[in-house]
Amino acid sequence: MRIDIISVLPEMIEGFVGESILARAQKKGLVEIKLHNLRDYSRDKWRRVDDYPYGGSAGMVMQCEPIDRCISALKAEHDYDEVIYTSPDGEPFNQHIANDLSLKGNLIILCGHYKGIDQRVRDHLITREISIGDYVLTGGELAAAVMTDAIVRLIPGTISDEQSALSDCFQDDMLAAPIYTRPADYKGWKVPDILLSGNEAKVRQWEFEQAIERTKRLRPDLLK
């Protein structure tokens, strides 16, 4: 897989994609993550990529030309399954979308900035718009980092224990069951006896029941 992230501030996520699991996946050759500074595709001598909106609205808008030039340059070298725009009014990002995108070949993620991007980019260049929540960030770099992390960790071989990813919250539209580790008794706070029983079938049943109970209590919307 290859993920190309286009940003006016690639430095914001440069360190993030070069650490931990993302770094490990790249070293293993499971994914390439490339950052592109949108200003490199500006023809303005000041490397500006934004301008005032028509109609007199407040804020600044990312221009068509540098975005088109950047995406066109990338597409000339690689085929892409999706060109994603990080936008607060996109479809809500969730585990199902992460699962789907982890099966793709190559992705472009365009980080929104300023007031947003020229609508013509959304109409003609973007294939999918995704939001990580109902709030507005200064830019889409954090959203791109969140999505990249959620996607890459699902690629087989990224996590040594692949079952760990498959049992995460939201994989079955439920929250995960409570988890414990040693010691079995700390300050009188005890691990449930069932987890110490060695009976795998009963443990799995307990985890399932706990997951349902926790989901009903904390996120009943998931069960709908």
Q: Residue 202 sits in which domain range?
A: 167-223
Of 121, 152, 183, which residue constitutes the final position of a domain? 152
* Structural domain includes residue 160: no
Q: Could you write out the three-class secondary structure of 81-136?
A: CEEEEEEEEEEECCHHHHHHHHCCCEEEEEECECCCECHHHHHHCCCEEEECCCCC
The enclosing domain of 207 has a CATH number of 1.10.1270.20
* Structural domain includes residue 204: yes
State the total domains in the chain. Answer: 2
Q: Is residue 166 scored above 70 in pLDDT?
A: no
Q: Is residue 163 scored above 70 in pLDDT?
A: no
Please report, for residues 127, 165, 169, 196, the alpha-carbon distance to residue 95 in angstroms, rounded to integers and kept in the order given. Answer: 19, 11, 8, 31
Clarify whether residues 128 and 174 are in a common domain: no
* Structural domain includes residue 33: yes
Binding-site residue numbers are 112, 132-137
Clarify whether residues 142 and 66 are in a common domain: yes
Contact predicate 2/32, CB 8 Å: yes
Clarify whether residues 209 and 145 are in a common domain: no
* Structural domain includes residue 161: no
Clarify whether residues 190 and 134 are in a common domain: no
Give the three-state DSSP class for 62. Answer: strand
* Owner of token pair 């079952």: 163
Sign of the dihedral through C-alpha 194, 197, 201, 204: positive
Q: Residue 122 phi/psi, 5° resolution?
A: -65, -35
Q: What is the pTM of this model?
A: 0.90
Of 90, 124, 152, which residue constitutes the final position of a domain? 152
- Which DSSP letter does residue 141 get? H
pLDDT (0 to 100) of residue 70: 98
* Structural domain includes residue 158: no
Q: Is residue 178 scored above 70 in pLDDT?
A: yes
Query: For residue 69, what are its two tokens?
Result: 């030039």
Contact predicate 110/117, CB 8 Å: yes
Mean pLDDT of 55-67: 94
Contact predicate 148/98, CB 8 Å: no
Clarify whether residues 99 and 15 are in a common domain: yes
pLDDT (0 to 100) of residue 167: 62
Report the DSSP beta bridge partners of residue 107: 3, 82
pLDDT in tens, 110-135: 999 988 999 999 999 999 999 999 99
Binding-site residue numbers for S-adenosyl-L-methionine are 112, 132-137
Clarify whether residues 91 and 6 are in a common domain: yes
Clarify whether residues 11 and 34 are in a common domain: yes
* Structural domain includes residue 38: yes
The enclosing domain of 115 has a CATH number of 3.40.1280.10
- Which DSSP letter does residue 177 get? P
- Which DSSP letter does residue 208 get? H
Clarify whether residues 95 and 196 are in a common domain: no
Q: Is residue 35 scored above 80 in pLDDT?
A: yes
Q: Is residue 192 scored above 80 in pLDDT?
A: yes
Contact predicate 131/89, CB 8 Å: yes
pLDDT in tens, 137-151: 999 999 999 999 999
* Owner of token pair 């009188």: 188
CA angle 2, 5, 10 (to 5 degrees): 135
Clarify whether residues 182 and 135 are in a common domain: no
Of 124, 152, 180, which residue constitutes the final position of a domain? 152
